[in-house]
């Protein structure tokens, strides 16, 4: 072999590894990326390589970037509409597999086994042939695949979004070109080609973001009020900040995470959900932190014109009509069909009416923006326009474009996709919407609200008073029953029981407390009074055990002494006979003298005790009765 041939052969051997495969985190000029030979970013967070999302035969191969975690999660796809088909999967020859290579014109080019170009970066910048600096493709630890030359970035994957939004990516809207960058869902879990749903900045206005289903709005964010930090999510894995940045050239949404945070990402799914997920290091799985839309009610225009989704309603958000509006079809509304929305209860004359403040609202879509108007000027602008239904005003941050720090929005058509936000886990949401209503509506509403507040308060007070009254009556009744119980169990014995336990010579008649008798008769009230005579009044009481007793309260005019009264009572108690009413007890306190008898119906005590002697008819006795 001559020297020239030897030199060429040695040069080929030295270049062979570079022609066959790349290494590390870069693809340099002349290198190729092959299936099964991925590269990893310098920090180890991301991987670039070939992947197949399904086990289809023939296998479809895609170039993608994914998180370097146990569950492969693709965040970017190069050739999502042009997969490389591998027909002979058993062959290990590099000539029978697709290749990704960096060419002399600084482009990354994906070609199939037959050499047909499936995807390219389409860089138009020409690198001078005389330059000593060579272009290089590098996978950064942010997940961004970039092509650099001579210190400049010629191309980056973060400018070509797929279905995922990760830290340091930007969802842009260019003021000059009116172009809006979007992330677009996969067609399904096994097909990364573009699906039906997309997410991005509204091209008709730069103040909100939307999810589209095809070309139709599917869900909408609240309108931007100028704050640089639009949202902040605190998770166990770290903090995430969703920022809105507004410059003279563009407005864009970007994502930042705290140092040391676990992997986090947004993704638009093939079912239309925009999800925020965080990687759980312990369980090695993705946890869904938030997902939008949260329910049917929050979908775009679900409640129809002039209807709104009330997120403060319990137990679930529901559709309602704005103030001074009613359902366009009560029957459909009652069936849960809200698409026809609401209509005004009464037409407003041109220039008439007033404005009702509705706080914490997601303002409607399709507004007219007026620049550099103060709040009062914004209100006046709407008031003098007969077609203006509502307005909203906000002070934007000083970073807003073109120096407009006063954001005035007017609605001159139907109010669509309105929500009452209320409080959120991260604080207040939404802003104040000023709705045109009939003159005097606000004062009538205030009076109605007062009635709604006062009537329940009065009803509650009345109910509370009734409860107290019932409790008092119950307490008094229970107290009387307790006194009756003490009257029955603590002091009262039948005369026979008393005599059995106390021989005549030792008999001491049971004395009952006056307070117990007074309680049992409700202080000697009329309902208990059953008779009266020269000796005093007689009261009837039913004891807790059902026994009825007669209480005779002797007149205070009686001159009988206490001792004579007691002796007489004891003497009566000693008289035991089945045909005589029994004396159960007595009371002597102060000037009070009371006798408690067993109650017998059909006659007074005098008739029972003395009727046999006073009767003009002879008494008929049973022959078998013993005396």
Q: What is the pLDDT of residue 116?
A: 94
pLDDT at 606 over 90: no
Q: What is the DSSP annotation of 247-270?
A: -SSEEEEEEEE-TTPPPEEEEE-T
pLDDT at 190 over 50: yes
Q: What is the pLDDT of residue 427?
A: 52
Look up the CATH number of the domain holding residue 32.
Answer: 2.90.10.10
Q: What is the pLDDT of residue 55?
A: 66
pLDDT at 78 over 90: yes
Q: What is the pLDDT of residue 608?
A: 40
pLDDT at 553 over 90: no
Q: What is the pLDDT of residue 596?
A: 87
Same domain, 243 and 212: yes
Q: What is the pLDDT of residue 260?
A: 83
- Alpha-carbon distance of 523 to 353, in angstroms, equals 68
Residue at 604 is within a domain:
yes
Same domain, 357 and 392: yes
Same domain, 390 and 402: yes
E-strand ranges in 511-582 read 529-533, 536-542, 548-554
Q: What is the pLDDT of residue 572?
A: 73
End position of a domain, from candidates 159, 174, 206: 159
Binding residues: 552
Neighbouring CB atoms inside 10 A of 486's CB total 18
Residue at 2 is within a domain:
no
User: What's the N-to-C CA distance of the chain in angstroms?
Assistant: 160
Q: Count Cα atoms within 13 angstroms, Cβ side, for 140.
A: 15
Same domain, 148 and 174: no
β-strands 423-424, 548-554 pairing: unpaired
pLDDT at 556 over 70: yes
Helices (H) and strands (E) in the chain, counts: 8, 42
Q: What is the pLDDT of residue 502?
A: 41
Q: What is the pLDDT of residue 344?
A: 95
Residue 625: pLDDT band with limits 50, 70, 90: very low
pLDDT at 489 over 70: no
β-strands 238-246, 250-257 pairing: antiparallel
Q: Which of 555, 526, 550 is nearest to 605 (CA)?
A: 550
Mean pLDDT of the chain: 80
Residue at 494 is within a domain:
yes
**pLDDT (mean) for 54-59:** 71
End position of a domain, from candidates 96, 127, 159: 159
Q: What is the pLDDT of residue 535?
A: 74
Q: What is the pLDDT of residue 495?
A: 37
**pLDDT (mean) for 585-589:** 82
The better pLDDT of the pair 536, 627 is held by 536
Same domain, 130 and 52: yes
Residues 6+ away with beta carbon under 8 Å from 585: 491, 492, 493, 509, 510, 511, 512, 595, 596
Contact 149, 129 (CB under 8 A): no
Q: What is the pLDDT of residue 270?
A: 97
Q: What is the pLDDT of residue 516?
A: 83
Q: What is the pLDDT of residue 560?
A: 65
**Residues 301-332 pLDDT 10s:** 999 999 999 999 888 999 999 999 999 999 99
The better pLDDT of the pair 249, 574 is held by 249
Q: Which of 358, 382, 377 is nearest to 442 (CA)?
A: 358
Residue 621: pLDDT band with limits 50, 70, 90: very low
Same domain, 129 and 168: no
Residue 128: pLDDT band with limits 50, 70, 90: low
Tell me which residue range forms the domain holding 145.
19-159
pLDDT at 129 over 70: no
Look up the CATH number of the domain holding residue 220.
Answer: 2.90.10
Residue at 234 is within a domain:
yes
Same domain, 114 and 50: yes
**Residues 169-189 pLDDT 10s:** 999 999 888 888 999 999 999
β-strands 238-246, 229-235 pairing: antiparallel
**Residues 240-288 pLDDT 10s:** 788 888 888 898 999 888 888 899 999 999 999 999 999 999 999 999 9
- Burial (Cβ within 10 Å: 0-12, 13-18, ≥19) of residue 236: exposed
**pLDDT (mean) for 7-35:** 63
The structure tokens listed for 217 are 């709005």
Residue 613: pLDDT band with limits 50, 70, 90: very low
End position of a domain, from candidates 423, 439, 455: 439
Q: Name the one residue in this structure whose structure tokens are 């055990």.
A: 545
Same domain, 33 and 119: yes
The structure tokens listed for 53 are 């999302």
- Alpha-carbon distance of 310 to 608, in angstroms, equals 80
Same domain, 494 and 541: yes
Q: What is the pLDDT of residue 403?
A: 59
Which contacts of 544-548 are long-range, i.e. CB under 8 A and separated by 24 or more positions?
Answer: 544/481, 544/484, 544/485, 544/488, 545/488, 547/488, 548/599
pLDDT at 414 over 90: yes
Q: What is the pLDDT of residue 552?
A: 87
pLDDT at 231 over 90: no
Strand order, beta sheet including 26-28:
26-28, 136-139, 145-149, 152-156
β-strands 307-310, 418-420 pairing: parallel
Q: What is the pLDDT of residue 6?
A: 44
Question: 128: which DSSP letter?
Answer: P
Q: What is the pLDDT of residue 616?
A: 37
**Residues 415-429 pLDDT 10s:** 999 999 876 655 557
**pLDDT (mean) for 401-407:** 69
**pLDDT (mean) for 435-461:** 67
Same domain, 84 and 153: yes
Give the max Cα distance, the chain: 170
- Alpha-carbon distance of 280 to 236, in angstroms, equals 9
Proportion of the chain above pLDDT 90, given as a percent: 45
Look up the CATH number of the domain holding residue 605.
Answer: 3.30.200.20
Residue at 205 is within a domain:
yes
The structure tokens listed for 580 are 């005589």
Q: What is the pLDDT of residue 103?
A: 92
pLDDT at 16 over 80: no
Q: Which of 19, 15, 29, 31 is nearest to 131 (CA)?
A: 29
- Alpha-carbon distance of 389 to 456, in angstroms, equals 34
Residue at 260 is within a domain:
yes
**Residues 138-173 pLDDT 10s:** 999 999 999 999 889 999 999 999 999 999 999 999
Reduced to 3 states, what is the DSSP secondary structure of residue 433?
strand
- Total domains in the chain come to 4
**pLDDT (mean) for 396-406:** 62
pLDDT at 443 over 90: no
Q: What's the pTM value of the predicted model, to 2 decimals?
A: 0.67
Q: What is the pLDDT of residue 408?
A: 95
Same domain, 410 and 506: no
Look up the CATH number of the domain holding residue 345.
Answer: 3.50.4
Same domain, 416 and 496: no
- Alpha-carbon distance of 270 to 211, in angstroms, equals 12
Proportion of the chain above pLDDT 70, given as a percent: 74
Residue 350: pLDDT band with limits 50, 70, 90: confident
Binding residues for ATP: 552
Residue 381: pLDDT band with limits 50, 70, 90: very high
Contact 365, 212 (CB under 8 A): no
What does each C-alpha distance from 523 to 356, 442, 497, 527, 547 come to in angstroms? 63, 58, 29, 11, 20
Residue at 457 is within a domain:
no
Residue at 13 is within a domain:
no
**pLDDT (mean) for 453-462:** 66
């Amino acid at each position: 072999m001559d020297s020239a041939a030897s030199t060429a052969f040695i040069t080929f051997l030295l270049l062979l590894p570079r022609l066959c495969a790349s290494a590390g985190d870069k693809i340099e000029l002349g290198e190729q990326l092959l299936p099964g030979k991925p590269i990893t970013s310098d920090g180890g967070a991301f991987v670039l390589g070939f992947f197949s999302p399904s086990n289809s035969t023939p296998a479809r191969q895609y170039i993608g970037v994914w998180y370097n975690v146990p569950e492969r999660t693709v965040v970017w796809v190069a050739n999502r509409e042009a997969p490389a088909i591998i027909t002979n999967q058993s062959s290990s020859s590099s000539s029978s597999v697709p290749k990704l290579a960096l060419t002399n014109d600084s482009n990354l080019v994906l070609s199939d086994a037959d050499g047909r170009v499936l995807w390219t970066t389409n860089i138009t910048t020409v690198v001078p042939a005389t330059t000593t600096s060579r272009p290089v493709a590098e996978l950064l630890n942010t997940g961004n695949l970039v092509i650099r030359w001579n210190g400049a970035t010629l191309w980056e994957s973060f400018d070509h979004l797929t279905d995922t939004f990760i830290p340091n990516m930007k969802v842009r809207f260019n003021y000059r070109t009116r172009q809006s960058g979007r992330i677009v869902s996969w067609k399904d879990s096994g097909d990364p080609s573009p699906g039906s749903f997309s997410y991005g900045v509204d091209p008709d206005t730069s103040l909100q973001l939307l999810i589209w289903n095809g070309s139709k709005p599917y869900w909408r964010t609240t309108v931007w009020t100028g704050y640089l930090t639009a949202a902040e999510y605190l998770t166990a894995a770290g903090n995430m900040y969703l920022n809105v940045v507004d410059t003279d050239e563009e407005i864009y949404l970007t994502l930042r995470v705290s140092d040391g945070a676990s992997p986090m990402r947004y993704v638009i799914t093939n079912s239309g959900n925009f999800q925020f997920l965080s990687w759980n290091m312990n369980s090695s799985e993705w946890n869904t932190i938030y997902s939008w839309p949260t329910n049917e009610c929050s979908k775009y225009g679900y409640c129809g014109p002039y209807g709104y989704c009330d997120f403060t309603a319990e137990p679930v958000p529901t559709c309602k009509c704005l103030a001074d509006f009613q359902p366009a079809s009560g029957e459909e509304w009652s069936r849960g069909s809200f698409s026809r929305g609401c209509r005004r209860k009464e037409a407003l004359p041109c220039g008439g009416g007033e404005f009702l403040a509705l706080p914490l609202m997601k303002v409607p879509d399709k507004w007219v923006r007026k620049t550099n108007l103060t709040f009062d000027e914004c209100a006046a602008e709407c008031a003098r326009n007969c077609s203006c239904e509502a307005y909203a005003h906000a002070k934007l941050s000083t970073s807003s474009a073109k120096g407009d720090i006063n954001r005035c929005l007017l609605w001159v058509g139907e109010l669509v996709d309105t929500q009452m936000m209320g409080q959120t886990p991260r604080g207040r949401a939404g802003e104040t919407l000023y709705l045109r209503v009939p003159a005097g509506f606000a004062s009538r509403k205030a009076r109605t609200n007062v009635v709604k507040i006062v009537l329940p308060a009065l009803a509650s007070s009345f109910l509370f008073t009734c409860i107290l009254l019932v409790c008092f009556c119950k307490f008094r009744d229970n107290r009387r029953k307790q006194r009756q119980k003490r009257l029955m169990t603590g002091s009262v014995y039948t005369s026979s029981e008393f005599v059995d336990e106390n021989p005549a010579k030792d008999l001491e008649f049971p004395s009952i407390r006056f307070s117990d008798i007074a309680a049992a008769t409700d202080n000697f009230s009329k309902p208990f009074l059953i008779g009266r005579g020269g000796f005093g009044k007689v009261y009837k009481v039913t004891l807790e055990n059902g026994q009825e007793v007669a209480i005779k309260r002797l007149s205070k005019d009686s001159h009988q002494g206490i001792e004579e009264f007691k002796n007489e009572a004891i003497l009566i108690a000693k008289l035991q006979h089945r045909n005589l009413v029994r004396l159960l007890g007595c009371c002597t306190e102060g000037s009070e003298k009371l006798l408690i008898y067993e109650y017998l119906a059909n006659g007074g005590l005098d008739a029972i005790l003395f009727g046999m002697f006073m009767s003009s008819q002879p008494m008929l006795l049973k022959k078998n009765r013993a005396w």
